[in-house]
Amino acid sequence: MNINIEQTIKNLENNNIRCIFLNDSKNIFKVIDNLINDKSIVGIGGSKTLMDLGFVEYLRNRDLDFLDRYKENIDALELKQIFRKSFFADYYLTSSNAITEAGELFNIDGRGNRVAAMLYGPDQVIIVAGVNKIVKDVFEALERTKKIAAPLNAVRLNIKTPCAKTLACVDCKSDDRICRDYVLIKKPQKGRFTLILINENLGY
């Protein structure tokens, strides 16, 4: 572990964010098996990290009430209902756009459903993130979202923002803007947040 990872973990723990550090993602689902009880209601936030690790298939194959925002032929109304139901979930799974060395979580959101569920609603919030998400401070976190997270997500989701073309943020006025909300979580309620920090580069 690099010193900044160790210190980040200590600071996260001091901020009521329980940390589980994994050297790689091979056993991620064994960890999740132990964290999420069968028959639970589970919501999921949009995340390249979770998609790449295969979380959607994993959740579909477990004995859960999975609020599956990715199911085939879902329409806008059903998606809205799933986002709203997610506030009543037992567990909410997501990643984080940045994690500061001071032990804070920084996230941007286009619709606000993900950051809203992180802030309030689900009893347990489980965050899965690679060490590439660790940044020095909030200013670097903001830079990271402008230069990496938002542009690459705009490309991935085929959203027509200026950054999708140039990979640079121009603080656009686009109606399709994917970074409408900027949320810093400093010290959440005790016992609600778990961060699984993986010693790999994952997601944006």
Contact, 187 vs 15, CB < 8 A?
Answer: yes
Q: What CA–CA distance (Å, rounded) separates 98 from 108?
A: 9
Quick one: 20 or 159, whose CB is closer to ligand SF4? 159
Quick one: 47 or 86, whose CB is closer to ligand SF4? 47
With binding defined as CB under 6 A, does residue 153 bind ligand SF4? Answer: no
With binding defined as CB under 6 A, does residue 163 bind ligand SF4? Answer: yes
Residue 31: what residue type?
V
With binding defined as CB under 6 A, does residue 161 bind ligand SF4? Answer: yes
Q: What CA–CA distance (Å, rounded) separates 149 from 46?
A: 12
Cα-trace Rg, the chain:
16
Total of chain residues touching ligand SF4, rule CB under 6 A: 15
Q: How far apart are the first and last CA of the chain?
A: 21
Q: Exactly one of 150, 195, 198, 202 binds ligand SF4 (CB under 6 A); which one?
A: 150
**Residues 23-42 as x/- pattern, contact with ligand SF4 by CB under 6 A:** --------------------
Q: Who's near 71: CB < 8 A, 6+ residues apart? A: none
The interface region with ligand SF4, picked from 20-28, 35-43, 171-179, 196-204 by CB under 6 A, is 171-179
| CB atoms near residue 13 (< 10 Å) | 13
Binding region for ligand SF4 (CB under 6 A)? 146, 150-151, 154, 161-163, 169-172, 174, 177-179
